[in-house]
Structure 1
Amino acid sequence: MRKKTVRRKPSVRYTKKKTTFFYGKLLRFSIVFLSIAFLFLALYHYRSGLAYYFSFKTDKVLSEKAESKRLSDIRNHQVLNSIEGKSVGIDVSEYQGDIKWSYVDTLENQFPIHFVLIRATVGNDRLDRSFEKNWLGAKKNKMIRGAYHYYRPNENSLEQAALFIKTVHLKKGDMPPVLDIEKLPKNQSIERLKIGLKRWLEKIEAHYKVRPIIYTGEKYYDDFLKEEFSEYLFWIANYNFYREKIESDWLFWQFTERGSVPGIKGNVDVNIFNGDLQQLQFITVE
């Protein structure tokens, strides 16, 4: 009797192992390649800021603290190099200490400062301790100046407006008043907050005969103010690394809190106006 031959199926273990090894190697190579490509693209994109930073570090008279601060400002320099003629300004309060206004002229020793927004009042009972000196100093330094009120959601809005009116006396060439709203209420609803904000804005507009500007963060703006306060112009704060341009519907963009200005010790907020100097002058009080 003929013996039956049993055929074995060909083994695929080696083939599978070889294929898995190949794809694993290809995946690692792809990740490395993409990482290097991303790094080169980032270096190219931030070439202006990086060049500024490394040239800055060669200055031996600067302190280690200043050098480390500049590393985080690479993006800020990148933004300033792409503003295409738009006006640059700062905003200050008592937290900047004693400002030497005669020295306040440029940002990062390169970009002219055209305007300054100055905190005047807080809530219904507090004056900024440096407002009067800053208000006069900015005027003497021939800067376009504006005053803002820090709004406390849980305090009477009309009392807050009255304090601002009592404190701030606008003159020809000053910017419209600014309402700074950053906090959510603790003891009232969002709807009640909006009513209070509108009362403040209406009282201020009736007194100064000019429509106020609203300052807030981008998320706060999108979530609570964008639709119901659409008739107002906005000054928006956004420090995110990925954002490098001002939105078309923003009047001002506060893009960093880590600016360096002669005459001011420490950091200062920096803002971009969505227009040139002539357009900025156009929105001032007549």
Structure 2
Amino acid sequence: MRRKTTRSKPIIRRKPRKKTAFFSGKLLRYSIIGFFVLLFLGVGYHYRDGFLYYLGFKSYKLRYEQAEAKRISDVRNYQVLENHKGKAIGLDVSEYQGEIDWTLVKNIENNYPLEFVLIRATAGNDREDIQFRKNWLAAKKRKMIRGAYHYYRPNENSLEQARIFIKTVQLQKGDLPPVLDIEKLPKEQSLDSLKKGLKRWLKAVEAHYKVKPIIYTGEKYYDDFLKEDFSEYLFWIANYNFYREKIGEDWLFWQFTEKASVSGIKGNVDVNIFNGDVEQLRFITIE
């Protein structure tokens, strides 16, 4: 008879637990970060007056640079106005100028009377400028020659854009012809489609008011895209460059600055020169 052999269980020896060090790796990192934070706060507090002086200096420097740029712009504006003595000077405004105190809108540089104003009426196919009606009535009361313009959005239906302008603007005797403002290229259509849309707007507006509209755009946009295909229209051109000192011979209006200061208007405003005197300007208004 065989004896049963019993296998003894292997003895498992557990390793003794290491005592947790007071400064474990994670705790050490937090302690170092905390030390530097306290050091930074302490240094900042100690030198608080110096930091405030430095920040104030930087702020002053920024204000100085902005003021210097404004002075340079003012010098250029004055020179352009001097080069165009005898020509009619005017503004163009929109809701971006906020509420205007029209009783104070009289001249620019305290020397050149403001004879006309072009006012944004609509934008795209659904947007009326929130200040248009106030500005439109106030300009009439102020006895300035007034005109209304539409900001054209290339990717929206041109006839719908014409309809909202016609619905919003009631032109009267003595007002300037309607203006189409085109500044951007389309993202969702070809250049040919853009030109067709512009012509549809122009034709629809001309049919309603019985007068050919004016086109506003930048000089490069005019040269590159509009000059040839829209040669039967008169143009209002924007160019703020210092090299441009006189109005183009074939321009009706020149928007020569966007950084003018005028009493009654907060912030900067655009100023324009008409390529003729006040009597010639009245000659192109609606009869």
- TM-score for the superposition, normalised by structure 2: 0.76
Cα distance between partner residues in 1 of 2:104 and 2:110: 11
Q: What letter is aligned with 2:144? A: M
| Structure 1 partner of 2:81 | 80
| Structure 1 partner of 2:105 | 104
Once structures 1 and 2 are overlaid, which stretch shifts more, 63-72 or 167-176?
63-72
**Is the counterpart of residue 218 in structure 1 residue 219 in structure 2?**
yes
| Structure 2 partner of 1:195 | 196
Cα distance between partner residues in 1 of 2:69 and 2:222: 32
**Is the counterpart of residue 122 in structure 1 residue 127 in structure 2?**
no
Cα distance between partner residues in 2 of 1:106 and 1:238: 21
Cα distance between partner residues in 2 of 1:110 and 1:266: 19
Output aligned runs, 1:232-247, within 5 Å: 232-247=233-248
Q: What letter is aligned with 2:109? A: E
Cα distance between partner residues in 1 of 2:69 and 2:188: 42
| Structure 1 partner of 2:182 | 181
Cα distance between partner residues in 1 of 2:228 and 2:67: 41
Residues 251-281 of structure 1 show CA distances to partners (whole Å, capped at 9, x for unaligned) of 0000000111110011000000000000000
Cα distance between partner residues in 1 of 2:206 and 2:159: 12
| Structure 1 partner of 2:270 | 269
Residues 169-213 of structure 1 show CA distances to partners (whole Å, capped at 9, x for unaligned) of 000000000000000000000000000000000000000000000
| Structure 1 partner of 2:168 | 167
| Structure 1 partner of 2:153 | 152
SS at match of 2:270: strand
Cα distance between partner residues in 2 of 1:145 and 1:230: 24
Q: What letter is aligned with 1:201? A: L
| Structure 2 partner of 1:30 | none
| Structure 1 partner of 2:259 | 258
| Structure 2 partner of 1:205 | 206
| Structure 2 partner of 1:229 | 230
Higher Rg: 2
Q: What letter is aligned with 2:265? A: I
Cα distance between partner residues in 2 of 1:68 and 1:205: 42
**Is the counterpart of residue 139 in structure 1 residue 140 in structure 2?**
yes
Count of residue pairs the alignment pairs up? 224
Alpha-carbon shift at residue 84 of structure 1 (Å): 3.0
Alpha-carbon shift at residue 71 of structure 1 (Å): 2.7
Cα distance between partner residues in 1 of 2:68 and 2:113: 22
Q: What letter is aligned with 2:275? A: N
SS at match of 2:121: strand
Q: What letter is aligned with 1:263? A: G
Cα distance between partner residues in 2 of 1:68 and 1:178: 31
SS at match of 1:256: strand
SS at match of 1:164: helix
Once structures 1 and 2 are overlaid, which stretch shifts more, 63-72 or 218-227?
63-72
| Structure 2 partner of 1:57 | none
Cα distance between partner residues in 2 of 1:109 and 1:204: 37
Alpha-carbon shift at residue 217 of structure 1 (Å): 0.2
Alpha-carbon shift at residue 150 of structure 1 (Å): 0.1
Cα distance between partner residues in 2 of 1:152 and 1:206: 21
Cα distance between partner residues in 2 of 1:67 and 1:100: 27
| Structure 1 partner of 2:13 | none
Residues 216-246 of structure 1 show CA distances to partners (whole Å, capped at 9, x for unaligned) of 0000000000001000000000001110000
Q: What letter is aligned with 1:126? A: R
Alpha-carbon shift at residue 70 of structure 1 (Å): 2.4
CA-based RMSD:
1.3
Cα distance between partner residues in 2 of 1:180 and 1:156: 15
Alpha-carbon shift at residue 109 of structure 1 (Å): 1.4
Q: What letter is aligned with 1:197? A: L
| Structure 2 partner of 1:283 | 284
Unaligned stretches of 5+ residues in structure 1: 1-62
Alpha-carbon shift at residue 76 of structure 1 (Å): 1.2
SS at match of 2:184: coil
Cα distance between partner residues in 2 of 1:114 and 1:184: 32
SS at match of 1:81: helix
Alpha-carbon shift at residue 67 of structure 1 (Å): 6.7
Cα distance between partner residues in 2 of 1:138 and 1:270: 15
Residues 83-114 of structure 1 show CA distances to partners (whole Å, capped at 9, x for unaligned) of 03110000000000110001101012111000
SS at match of 2:149: strand
Q: What letter is aligned with 1:283? A: I
